[in-house]
């Protein structure tokens, strides 16, 4: 079992870990020949971590247990909740995947699904889905024209190039969306508002 990630600033300071007090001594006390010690600030209360009786089934601590401030893992900055982040990532990364799988002409499907599924409920998801949909529509049309023109050999270059552009910028937009930022696609037009 691995340890959950620590909040920023709670990493190892490079100093050796403090020595443990014997199990017979209560928390914050010391032996008879040492002066009494106070609990560290931010340290859990006696018996607070882990809780008496252990953790719930599954072995994970309850949200907020053991970390200063008691904050549980929540939605990243820029999103109201984790569902918004997920749908924004579906719009961008799904557009890139659609360009790859669909030969450059299906990049618009995932952003459209994200827009229809969550666009009316979340303005953030709507903004991400519309940006991805506008970009992927333009480049899907260019790729389709390129594949149609492939009959005269020059279209192969256009179709393949449009597919590569859709994949690269879809991935870049997904990375920015993961950070909570709206990505402004280059070479895009506002077809959908």
User: What are the pLDDT digits (tens) for 33-79?
Assistant: 555 554 444 444 455 555 555 545 555 545 544 444 433 444 445 77
Residue with the larger pLDDT of the pair 170 and 76: 170
**Is 53 inside any structural domain?**
yes
pLDDT digits (tens, 9 = 90+) for 131-154: 999 988 988 888 888 888 777 776
Per the rule left: phi > 0, alpha: psi between -120 and 50, beta: everything else, 68 is beta
Average pLDDT over residues 85-105: 86
The owner of tokens 């992927």 is 136
pLDDT value of position 115 = 92
- Are 91 and 146 part of one and the same domain? yes
- Are 63 and 96 part of one and the same domain? no
The kind and range of the H/E element at 174 are: helix 154-178
- Are 101 and 152 part of one and the same domain? yes
Domain around 59: 18-67
- Are 86 and 173 part of one and the same domain? yes
What does the alpha-carbon distance between residue 172 and residue 152 come to, in Å, rounded to a whole number?
32
Q: Does pTM top 0.75 for this prediction?
A: no
**Is 193 inside any structural domain?**
no
Q: What's the mean pLDDT when you consider all of the chain?
A: 72
Alpha helices in 18-153 (DSSP H): 82-101, 109-118, 123-148
Cβ 147 vs Cβ 159: under 8 Å: yes
Instruction: Please give the tally of structural domains in the chain.
Output: 2
pLDDT value of position 113 = 93
**Is 125 inside any structural domain?**
yes
What does the alpha-carbon distance between residue 21 and residue 87 come to, in Å, rounded to a whole number?
49
């Amino acid at each position: 079992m691995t340890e959950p990630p620590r909040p920023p600033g709670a990493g190892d300071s490079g100093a050796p870990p403090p020595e443990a007090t014997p199990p017979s001594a209560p928390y914050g006390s010391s032996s008879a020949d040492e002066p009494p010690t106070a609990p560290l600030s931010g340290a859990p209360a006696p018996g607070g971590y882990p809780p008496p009786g252990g953790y719930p089934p599954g072995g994970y601590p309850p949200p907020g247990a053991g970390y200063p401030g008691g904050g549980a893992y929540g939605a990243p900055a820029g999103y109201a909740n984790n569902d918004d982040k997920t749908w924004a990532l579906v719009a961008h990364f799904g557009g890139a995947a659609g360009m790859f799988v669909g030969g450059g002409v299906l990049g618009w499907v995932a952003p459209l699904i994200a827009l229809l599924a969550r666009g009316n409920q979340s303005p953030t998801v709507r903004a991400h889905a519309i940006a991805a949909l506008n970009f992927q529509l333009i480049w899907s049309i260019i790729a389709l024209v390129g594949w149609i023109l492939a009959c005269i050999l020059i279209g192969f270059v256009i179709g393949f190039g449009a597919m590569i552009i859709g994949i690269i910028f879809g991935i870049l937009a997904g990375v920015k969306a993961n950070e909570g930022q709206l990505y402004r696609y280059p070479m895009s037009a506002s077809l959908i508002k």
